[in-house]
Amino acid sequence: MSKFPATASAPLNPARMMHRAARIEDWLHDKREKFARRRGHKPIVIPYTGYGTPERVRVLCRVLLAKPATAAAVARKRRRNDGRDASIRGWRSFLSVPVNDVTVTIDIGGHAHRVQADRGGVVDTVMDVALEPGWHTAMLHTEASTPVEAPVFVVAPDVRRGIISDVDDTVMVTTLPRPLLAAWNTFVLDEHARVPTPGMAVLLDRLADATPGAPVIYLSTGAWNVAPTLSRFLSRNLYPAGALLLTDWGPTHDRLFRSGREHKRENLRRLAQEFPEMQWILIGDDGQHDEAIYSEFQQDFPQSVAAVAIRRLSPSEAVLAGRRAKDAVEAKPDPLWVYGPDGASLATQLADLGLIVDPGLPGPTE
């Protein structure tokens, strides 16, 4: 039986208990919101993919202020891009103004649920609703916004295997540990110029095919601002559809900057508790902290780990990531852990564990 957390949220700490940086951020957001509203910007809901069980679902979205787009403006953008969606630089998403004092109505399965957005405009809530396994659509809106659709994947009770994958340097070559290039990739680089990791899309697709109905979760320390960009990247490069679990950059109530590592730990623990009978295939890389985080998770929830696949960075990537190649953590003797430079290499080893039926994946030069 799944153990989704209760829908009620804990009350926020009084403002005087908040970290000074959080109070400054709230003041800045308030000023920017008032300015944007004076310019005619209206609330919009940015939907994210959710997941759940036949009894409960987790729905995610974010409320922002944006200038209403006219049909003529949309047509001009498409013409400038030869019919494609307009190229989107990462920095534009970080100029958006979040709306925190707003109620979002969520309609799914014939039930409506009203929830308040958090300080960053993010809604992350759980609804009690009876749904059949498979894909469903939740309709999201505020009093002043147009309803939008959010996909929600309901996992069947008999599915016993799922996939959790990191994003940066795992499915997308970003070399995120390099501060300068990370900023370039995040704030400047055209989304169509982002590079998929060789063989990883086919690897994840084969893993998903091996267990029909398996949930796919993309767990990253990236900000919610880049969620639309990441979703388009994953779709364009044929990665299997799944939920994105990102974080909200900036100060929290009790600290100057939120912890990306703790964000991953909390969501891994949450997934283990929500799906206690599920075994997860954990996919990451050795450029950041995936090995340590996955190792801790395996120690705490050994019954929840089917395998751990770690992509090894190349020597040049390792150096630029802030360490020498020889500093790489040695492969663990645990037979459930596999290492390789790309998806094809990892697939061969996962096939030996019986997790992939057909490991015939293209290599990095194919």
| Residues 194, 61 share a domain | no
Do 133 and 191 fall into the same domain?
Answer: no
Q: Which of 154, 184, 204 is the last residue of a domain?
A: 154
Q: The domain containing residue 49 runs over which residues?
A: 15-154
Q: Are residues 125 and 259 in the same domain?
A: no
Asked if 218 and 311 sit in the same domain, the reply is yes
- Across the range 327-346, mean pLDDT stands at 81
Residues 258 and 347 in one domain: yes
238 and 289 inside one domain: yes
Domain end (from 105, 136, 154):
154
| pLDDT value at 37 more than 70 | no
Q: Is the pLDDT higher at 229 or at 155?
A: 155
Instruction: For residue 75, give the CATH number of its domain.
Output: 2.60.40.10
Considering the domain architecture, whether residues 90 and 168 belong to the same structural domain is answered as no
**Pairing outcome for strands 103-108 and 134-141:** antiparallel
**Mean of all residue pLDDT scores within the chain:** 80
Which of 100, 123, 154 lies at the terminal end of a domain, its last residue?
A: 154
**Residue 35 pLDDT > 70:** no
Long-range contacts of 312-320 (CB under 8 A, 24+ apart): 312/285, 312/286, 312/339, 312/340, 312/341, 313/169, 313/285, 313/286, 313/287, 314/341, 317/169, 317/175, 317/287, 318/286, 318/287, 320/175, 320/177, 320/178, 320/181
The pLDDT value given to residue 126: 97
Q: For residue 363, what is the DSSP state?
A: -
- Residue 296's beta-bridge partner residues? none
Residues 202 and 345 in one domain: yes
Q: Is residue 6 part of a domain?
A: no
Give the chain's domain count.
2
**What is the rounded CA–CA span in Å between residue 213 and residue 324?**
40
pLDDT digits (tens, 9 = 90+) for 86-139: 444 454 555 678 887 799 999 999 999 999 998 888 999 999 999 999 999 999
* CA 287/CA 280 separation, integer angstroms: 21
pLDDT of residue 182: 54
